[in-house]
């Protein structure tokens, strides 16, 4: 996946067991953020930053969709525990992370394992990938999104 590509459409269940498709948001800006795991330190910091700035993002017409390989039940607990106001999608079969090229070998404390690369795709109203944020600043992620789209305030 690269900037300028059409974002691959997908359907997945959210934390409320509703099926959500990327194509449901045609005509809107979408911040599609992939994160490794619910209830882990950095993922929680990132989700809470998006929560704390959700009204601003929403007022500017930006839809926030989070995706991890956790299941719907895990997402529901994560949403409830941290009062997350946006959709979390379950990619338990790893189809979406693979399609977006984000299921990869990672290394932590000398141990190698397969996992999701923390990445955000900014998708414009026509469904094109306008920008890919690969170096996510979890504490300031909403600001990164707004800055890339040239929105301040």
Q: Which residues are catalytic?
A: 43
Length of the chain: 153
How far apart are alpha carbons 33 and 82 in whole angstroms? Answer: 17
- Crossing angle for the helix pair 141-148 and 41-52, nearest 10 degrees? 60
Residues contacting 144, CB < 8 A, separation 6+: 120, 133, 136, 137
Cβ atoms of 121 and 1 within 8 Å: the answer is: yes
Q: Two tokens at 16?
A: 């409320």
How far does Cα 22 stand from its chain's mean position? 12
How far does Cα 138 stand from its chain's mean position? 12
């Amino acid at each position: 996946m690269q900037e300028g590509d059409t974002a691959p459409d997908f359907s997945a269940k959210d934390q409320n067991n509703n099926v959500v498709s990327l194509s449901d948001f045609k005509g809107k800006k979408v911040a599609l953020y992939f994160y490794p795991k619910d209830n882990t330190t950095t993922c929680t910091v990132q989700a809470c930053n998006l929560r704390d700035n959700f009204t601003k993002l929403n007022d500017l017409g930006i839809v926030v969709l989070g995706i991890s390989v956790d299941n719907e039940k895990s997402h529901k607990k994560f949403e409830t525990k941290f009062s997350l106001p946006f959709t979390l999608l379950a990619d338990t079969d790893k189809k979406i992370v693979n399609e977006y090229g984000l299921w990869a070998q990672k290394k932590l404390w000398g141990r190698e394992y397969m996992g999701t690369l923390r990445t955000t795709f900014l998708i414009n109203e026509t469904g094109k990938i306008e920008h890919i944020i690969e170096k996510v600043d979890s504490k300031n992620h909403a600001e990164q999104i707004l800055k890339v789209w040239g929105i301040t305030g």
